[in-house]
Structure 1
Amino acid sequence: MARAAVFDMDGTILDTLDDLQLSLNRTLQEFGREPYSLAEVRAMVGNGVPRLIELAVGETCPDEERARVLARFKEVYGDHCNDHTRPYPGIVAMVARLREQGVRVAVVSNKVDFAVRELADLHFPGVFDAVLGQRDDIPRKPDPTMVFRALETLGVAPEDACYVGDSEVDVLTAANSGLEPLIVTWGFRSRESLIENGATVLVDTPEELEALILA
């Protein structure tokens, strides 16, 4: 049995896509830019907000304008990050059962830190032993620093933990940190894309995920 499970947030424990798309399009509209479809935003998220904005405004956007768009998006998303966001079915109960079995749990996300903490408090109050989002002093995943800091807080070695995510970023994060990767199929990437990007253990339900963690 794993002593700890480290979870990604967006696409893994929370369905945040609608709020990300709506906040992005509100921001882009203010700057006279065209909106993106839900499918387009789904493909763009996963590498943190700065990268999302880079993709949204394009390579030819001047640095000064990109910085303004980024700053404004953080404000808009801060006000609307929980309008439509919900845990995936079965996730809350599954995490609670893991804790009952003595598994320590953490969240590490490329989402900005204030939003990660707010959403964790709203949907999983008092549940996670460590919660880390993107900050200036922590490199974004797939760099393993965020995972290692979470494990340090938990007091668990990498070889005694597993990593749960939903994207190619998470596949690389698990590999870089030396954690067993458990990649869910209900998130922001297709099964085919996950396999193409190196996922070897695909998980289709929270119940299956729980069984693997406790095995």
Structure 2
Amino acid sequence: MHSVDGWIFDLDGTLVDSLPAIAMGLNHALASEGHPVYEEVTVRSFIGDGIEMLIARALPDHPEGRAAVFERFRDWYINGWRLGTVVYPGIDYVLQTLQTRGAVLAVLSNKPHRFTVEIVESLFPGVFDVVLGQRDGVPHKPDPAGLREILEHESWIAKTSGMIGDSTVDLETALHAGITSIAVTWGYHDRARLEAMKPDAIVQRAEDLLEL
């Protein structure tokens, strides 16, 4: 594995544990529209492909109700994300150390761009050089379009850049873009699923990233 100079992080399940807020928001939206709600552990399995897919997985048999639930979720999440989104242990230290080393840092998320930027600016002010969420007209991960946009924006070399994430979606994105794939085990996909993707590295603690 090549040494990594350009670090592209996923957000949910990698930098922050946002499951409590996502579960609260989803269940609020579902209940408001008269649908059954889910345990947090089940919502965990819905995360990774953006809000629309989150809601589709929550309402597999009611496609006609998804738009209304989406609107309810979005309206709640504008302020509600703060009720259940925390930085994972060790992440602040890792980011500060990487900055000290002169690394360039970015975020690429399937969360809507507005929320991605707000959360990153609130929890990691001044840390990241580029922050991209899901935007209209740009395919989301695992399509590598957003990742390639970051590489071009920062003039990064693919072989010395890495995508760090907790899901198979992140690893697929790295594979499609031809960059290093680094899986973290503290997020929402279990280790067996990550290992099956054969990433370039798997880390169990945030601090382990500094050894790569």
Point out where structure 2 has 5 or more consecutive residues left out of the alignment.
none
Which amino acid in the other structure matches residue 182 of structure 1? Answer: I
Equivalent of 2:9 in 7, 10, 24: 7
The corresponding residue for 2:106 is 106
Secondary structure of 2:22's partner? helix
Structure 1, residues 88-128: CA drift from partner, whole Å, max 9, x if none? Answer: 00101101110111110000000011110011011100100
Secondary structure of 1:81's partner? helix
Q: Could you tell me how far 1:57 is from its partner in structure 2?
A: 1.3
Which amino acid in the other structure matches residue 22 of structure 2? Answer: L
The corresponding residue for 1:84 is 84
In the aligned structure 1, how far is the partner of 2:199 from the partner of 2:161? 17
TM, length-normalised to structure 1: 0.94
The corresponding residue for 2:174 is 174
* Contact 2:180-2:200 at 8 Å conserved across structures: no
Structure 1, residues 20-70: CA drift from partner, whole Å, max 9, x if none? Answer: 0000000000001111111111111100111111111114432xx321211
* Contact 2:33-2:68 at 8 Å conserved across structures: no
Secondary structure of 2:63's partner? coil
The corresponding residue for 1:153 is 153
The share of aligned pairs that are identical, in percent, is 36
The corresponding residue for 1:134 is 134
The corresponding residue for 1:122 is 122
Question: 1:30 and 1:60, CA in 2 relative to 1: closer, same or farther beyond 3 A?
Answer: closer
In the aligned structure 1, how far is the partner of 2:119 from the partner of 2:56? 24
Structure 1, residues 138-171: CA drift from partner, whole Å, max 9, x if none? Answer: 1110000111111222221222201100011111
In the aligned structure 1, how far is the partner of 2:113 from the partner of 2:137? 11
Secondary structure of 2:150's partner? helix
The corresponding residue for 1:49 is 51
Point out where structure 1 has 5 or more consecutive residues left out of the alignment.
none
In the aligned structure 2, how far is the partner of 1:198 from the partner of 1:130? 27
Which amino acid in the other structure matches residue 168 of structure 1? Answer: T
The corresponding residue for 1:183 is 183
Which amino acid in the other structure matches residue 26 of structure 1? Answer: H
In the aligned structure 2, how far is the partner of 1:107 from the partner of 1:35? 30
Q: Could you tell me how far 1:200 is from its partner in structure 2?
A: 5.0
Q: Could you tell me how far 1:208 is from its partner in structure 2?
A: 1.0
The corresponding residue for 1:23 is 25
* Contact 2:166-2:189 at 8 Å conserved across structures: yes
Which amino acid in the other structure matches residue 61 of structure 1? Answer: P
In the aligned structure 2, how far is the partner of 1:26 from the partner of 1:44? 16
Which amino acid in the other structure matches residue 56 of structure 2? Answer: E
In the aligned structure 2, how far is the partner of 1:35 from the partner of 1:196? 31
